[in-house]
């Protein structure tokens, strides 16, 4: 990639393919339960249809599949998909090459989910993309379904494309598309990075 490429022109997945193995090791170094401790009580307890957008190494998707859920892991970075398929070959996961803001493949198939999970994903979309991504995502959510997402706050790693996103903006955008806030929590970084913090939102249709 051209080192002089403007930040706004970077792909939302910029830097992830090249660093896939390192990133997968980082993702897998913490458990699903630790990462999502603030919202664990909001995940479905009965077998449900789950979409993990930006599934990365498949840590979360695999954990949810192990709980008996039917999980689709959507990951646009081929290198991460391949690693995830290998690392979690023991779980019945459906891997797809699809991504925000359009989620074109899943929408074309008319899929519906009870839960949509976005872990460290939303900040990769700029304001215009977020405006398009929210209704696309809601169109995949069944009535009564939930969206659980995390917002990353802190410096952007070199070579990555991230944007500052507030909880207030995200909640307002969600409400315009029929989602109500049911939970908000803030926490320190589960990897121990002092300059990174997170906000967790749970939204319901």
CATH number of the domain residue 86 falls in: 3.40.50.150
Structure tokens at 161: 């494309």
Please choose, from the candidates 203, 205, 201, the residue with its C-alpha nearest in 3D space to the C-alpha of residue 38: 201
Cis before 101? omega within 30: yes
Answer whether residue 3 shows pLDDT above 60. no
Contact 124, 12 (CB under 8 A): yes
Q: Are 149 and 189 in contact (CB under 8 A)?
A: no
**What rounded mean pLDDT belongs to the chain?**
89
The answer to whether position 165 is within a domain reads yes
> How distant, in Å, are the alpha carbons of 36, 44, 47, 94, 123 from that of 69?
17, 9, 5, 11, 26
Domain that holds residue 49: 7-204
Q: Quote the number of domains for the chain.
A: 1
Phi-psi region of 192 (alpha: psi -120 to 50; beta: other; left: phi over 0): left
- Cβ–Cβ < 8 Å for 88, 58: yes
When mean pLDDT is compared across 5-19, 39-53, 166-180, the lowest value belongs to 5-19
pLDDT of 18: 60
Determine, yes or no, domain membership for 61.
yes
78 belongs to a structural domain: yes
What are residue 202's phi and psi, to 5 degrees?
Answer: -120, 125
pLDDT value, residue 7: 42
pLDDT tens digits along 128-170:
999 999 999 999 999 999 999 999 999 887 877 889 999 999 9
Of the listed ranges 23-27, 50-54, 129-133, 142-146, the one predicted with least confidence: 23-27
Higher pLDDT among residues 5 and 21, named by residue: 21
Neighbour-count burial for 123-147, b at 16+ CB within 10 Å, e otherwise: bbbbeebbeebbebbbebbeeebbb
pLDDT at 13 over 80: no
Tokens at 197, concatenated? 């913090």
Q: Nearest Cα to 198, choosing from 30, 54, 36, 31?
A: 36
* pLDDT tens sequence across 93-121: 999 999 999 999 999 999 999 999 999 99
**34: enclosing H helix or E strand:** helix 32-35
Q: Is residue 2 part of a domain?
A: no
Question: What's the predicted TM-score (pTM) here?
Answer: 0.88
1 falls within a domain:
no
In DSSP terms, which residues pair with 95 in a beta bridge? 73
């Amino acid at each position: 990639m051209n080192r002089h490429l403007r930040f706004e022109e970077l792909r939302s997945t910029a830097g992830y393919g090249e660093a896939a193995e390192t990133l997968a090791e980082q993702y897998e170094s913490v458990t699903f339960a630790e990462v999502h401790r603030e919202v664990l009580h909001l995940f479905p307890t009965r077998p449900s249809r789950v979409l993990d957008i930006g599934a990365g190494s498949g840590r979360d998707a695999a954990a949810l599949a192990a709980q008996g859920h039917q999980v689709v892991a959507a990951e646009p970075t081929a290198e991460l998909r391949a690693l995830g398929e290998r690392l979690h070959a023991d779980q019945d996961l459906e891997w797809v090459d699809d991504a925000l803001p359009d989620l074109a493949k899943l929408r074309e198939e008319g899929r519906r989910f009870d839960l949509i999970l976005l872990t460290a994903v939303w900040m990769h979309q700029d304001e215009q993309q977020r405006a398009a991504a929210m209704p696309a995502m809601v169109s995949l959510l069944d009535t009564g379904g939930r969206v659980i997402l995390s917002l990353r706050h802190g410096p952007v790693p070199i070579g990555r494309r991230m944007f500052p996103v507030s909880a207030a903006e995200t909640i307002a955008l969600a409400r315009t598309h029929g989602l109500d806030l049911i939970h908000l929590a803030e926490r320190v970084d589960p990897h121990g990075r002092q300059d990174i913090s997170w906000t967790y939102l749970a939204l319901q249709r």
